[in-house]
Amino acid sequence: MFRHTSRIAVAVAGAAALACTAALPATAAGHHTPAHHHVRSAVVLGPIQYDSPGRDDRSNRSLNAEWVVVKNTGRWPATLKGWTLSDKTGHSYRFGNVRLAGHSQIRVHTGVGRDGRRDLYQDRRVYIWDNDSDTATLRNDHRRIVDSQSWGRHGHWGHHH
C-alpha cells in the first residue's frame, strides 16, 4: 500500500513540476522580457519583406511589395479577429473577421488592395517597416504577444522572441 501511495505522490509531483515549467514564458537569451508575456500559439510570424525591392517611390505597387506573413502552424483553424500586427513605433493593423485554416498562411501587405484568402491589405499610403531596424509584433485579441520578429541593429534578421 505504501509503495503504491509513494508512486502516486511522485507522479503527481512530477506532473506539477512539468505544468509549472510549461507555464513559464519563453524568452530569448540576451533580450529583456516584454511587459506582456508571450502566449503559446500555433499562429506565428513567417517571412517578412520589410524592404520592398526597387526604388521606394511610395507607389502602391512598391508599398504592397512590403509584407509580413502570418502562419498557422497548427492543424486546427484559427480566428484572427481583433488580433494586431504592429511595428516598434506603434503603427498597428487590426485583423477583421479573418479565419486562417490549419497549416496555411496569409500575407499582410502595407499598401491598398482587396482582401482575399491569401492576401490582406493595410490600405496605407506610407511604408511601415523600417529597413534598418524594426520589430514586427503579433498580438492576440487579448493584447498578449503571440510572436515577434526583429531585424537590423537592435535585432537579428528572422529572430523570433
Supply the pLDDT for residue 95. 98
Helix then strand count (H, E) for the chain reads 2, 11
Mean pLDDT value across residues 118-126: 97
Distance of CA 92 to the CA centre of its chain: 13
Lowest mean pLDDT among 6-20, 28-42, 78-92: 6-20
- 92 secondary structure, DSSP code: E
First to last CA, the chain: 48
Tally of CA atoms within 13 A in the half-sphere of 87 that contains its CB: 18
Q: Can you read off the three cell numbers belonging to residue 17?
A: 513540476
Q: What is the pLDDT of residue 34?
A: 43
